[in-house]
Structures are given as C-alpha cells and as structure tokens.
Amino acid sequence: MIKLGIRGSKLSIVAVTASLFLQACGGGGGDGDGSSTVTLPVATTPAPTPTPTPTPTDPTLAETVAEYTTIDLDNLLNYADPALPAYYDNTLNNRDNQPANNQLEDRIATLGRVLFYDTQLSVNNTISCSSCHQQSAGFDDPLQKSVGFLNEETGMHAMRLGNVRYFGPGDMFWDKRADSLEEQATEPVKSPVEMGWDDAAGGVPALITRMEGLEYYPALFEFAFGNATITEARMQQALAQFQRAMISSDSRWDRAYAQVFNPNADNRNLNATLPGFTASENRGRQLFMTGRNNGGAGCSACHQPPTFALAGNSDSNGLDAGETIEFKSPSLKNVALSNFFMHDGRFSSLAEVVEHYNSGIQSGPALDNRLTQGNNPQQLNLSDADKQALVDFMETLSDESLVADARFTNPFR
C-alpha cells in the first residue's frame, strides 16, 4: 500500500500532513493574513538509471498480461497526456514535483497500476497499496488508522492521493521524511507493519524473487523498460508515475471556475462569484480565497487553487501544543469523500476540521505563521453560518470523475 501517509506507529516523526482542510499552512514568510504564498523550485530527485527505449509490443507479452489482467498492451490508457482545463497551465510548473528523469509514460504508468493493486506485494498476499488508498474514497482510507498485512494498525491515517503531483517540494509521508514520491513508493512494502518485506522476511530481494515467478511481471517490465529485469528502482518509477497521473480537475468547483477563468484578470478571477453555486457555497468560496486582513479565512494561502495542494512553504497547523513536527497535507480535492481527517484521523467531519482552524489551533515551534495573530494562534471567530459555508465550499471540490476513472481501477481479472 503506497501509504502516503501511513507508517508504523513506532515512528514518532510520522505524518505527512496533518490536515485535510488545511494542514500545513505555513512555512516562512507571510504576514499572517493567509494571502501570501511562496513558490519553490521543482523537486529534482535522483532517479534510477535511464531506461532503454521499449521495443514494439511482443504478442507473447500482450497475451501473458491479458491472461491475468484486463490491460490491452496494444491499446493503452492515456496517462501521459490527459486533457486538462486551461488553468492547469505553466503557472503550475513550480508546483509540479515530477522529476525530469521520470516523466509520465503510458507503459510505465500501466505497470504502476498493476503494482498498486497487487496483493502479492505484501508478504502474506493480503493487501495492496489500494487497500489503504481506495478509489471510491478519493484514494483515501475509510478507516481512521490504516492497517497492515497482519491487521495491525499503523498508527496513521492514509492520505488521499489526488493531485499528489502538485506538492512542489516533493517530500512525502505526513512528516515529509521521504524526499520524493519515488523514494516513498516502496517504503510501505518494506515496512514490518504495512506490507511486511522487512529484513526478517528477506527484504525487497525476496519480493523480487516472488515477482519473477509471476508470469505477468517479467512481461510487464519488458514492455515498460525494454527488458524483464525487475528492480526496486523500476518499481519506484512505475508507482510514482501512476500516482502522479491521479490529477483531479473535474469537480463542481473546476467546472464553475472554468466559466469565469481569465488568465489576465487579477488573481486569475479566483475571487469571482461562481455560476451554479448556492449562496452558502459562494460565501465559503469567498472565505476560502480571501486573506484574513480582507475579511476572509485565508485558506487558499496554504491550499492553493486550482489543485488545492499544499503550498510548498507550509508548516504545521497546530493540532497539538508544542508540536515540533512539520506536518504536510494532501490536496483538498475529494476531501468530502473522507471519513477521517488529520494524520491520526482525530476528526470525523469537515465541521470539526473547520472548528479547529476557527478556535482550536495550539502554539508550538512548528506552527505555520499564517495561522497566528501576533504571537498567538489565530482565532477566526466565524459565525455558525460561515463555518457551514466553508464546509459547503469544500464539498464542491469532490471529483467524481477521478473516483470513476477507468485508468485507476483494479486491473486484475
């Protein structure tokens, strides 16, 4: 399970984001009104050695893969060149953590899809990455704490994966301990709690031996990379590509914003009233997009539209007093499909999340300065109607297209 946010409970530094609504807002700079952001350069993670150009599809490979999966190697699904709205343009380049040496390719992402759904990547063949990142839940975990191959809790709540590509720095897990999505990809596989291939079980070499005995993997690796050699680096490439392809751009908010988007307007018309929204949804949009000094809640300073992924310079959101870990969060796309929120799943509703930012932020060394007022945590003092408006707005970020997209479904027969 590629748990972008789960790990063994023994890891005190775990966490990749503490908030769904807004975790990690902060980081350096900013005047505390929720209106300033800082962009960071694209993460460039050292990647596996360059791969040879794949040869044309061998009919034998196609037959082998088709025996076990629904994948047609002669008619691949499109991962590398999806149709995106006009506002998914070069202004997002500095938020894109896709490294130059692992650009999306349909063949490699297809392999990633198989790896993501294969329970044989766990020691006892019981769980896969998709066990904790379920498409129907926006690639989130319906459970408060994700469980591993022995049904033992990991201590963390798995993160949603939509728009994981757009956290610019590229650090992964709640506590940002992995430098890239590639590095993160096989950590759950090697976890003694999650998928079980730790040193005692023989590690990744033992897993590779198992994979070499499964007919479809030598065929898929040859199809993707030009030869059948299975390596951890190649697994990381493929899993990272599959996850980066999970772009969310078809929520109600997206469809409404597309009607008012103007690249030449102030702030690209992000503050415009949106057609088809209720009064409460538009009020929530206004609060979300507007800085605190201008009467808003300042949410967008950390959860940046149009991807609603976290700003790269964000720190923690003050869940606990004295917090020293810089938690990060996933994109807010499909946040309303989640049952639990924050790295430990402590909140079970968006209303609780909003109340945290309204009145519950705790002081600590890692607190984001955009969540402070002077030397104290912010107090938004929102009315009940405004708190509900923020919930209503976040519900417009649900993307049913991603939830139903055939490219991300289970490929096994």
pLDDT digits (tens, 9 = 90+) for 251-281: 999 999 999 999 999 999 999 999 999 999 9
Q: Which is nearest to 388 in space by CA: 279, 270, 239, 259?
A: 279
Q: Which is nearest to 185 in space by CA: 194, 172, 166, 204?
A: 172
CA dihedral 384, 24, 293, 94 (to 10 degrees): -130
Q: Which is nearest to 1 in space by CA: 120, 105, 171?
A: 120
pLDDT digits (tens, 9 = 90+) for 345-397: 999 999 999 999 999 999 999 999 999 988 899 999 999 999 999 999 999 99
Check: CB of residue 136 under 8 Å from CB of residue 126. Answer: no
Q: Return the SS3 of 130.
A: helix
- All structural domains of the chain with their residue ranges: 1-413
pLDDT digits (tens, 9 = 90+) for 37-95: 334 344 444 455 555 555 557 889 999 999 999 999 999 999 999 999 999 999 999 99
CA dihedral 15, 16, 22, 23 (to 10 degrees): 50
Can you tell me the distance from the alpha carbon of 329 to that of 179, in angstroms, rounded to the nearest whole number? 15
**Architecture (CATH level 2) of domain 1-413:** Orthogonal Bundle (1.10)
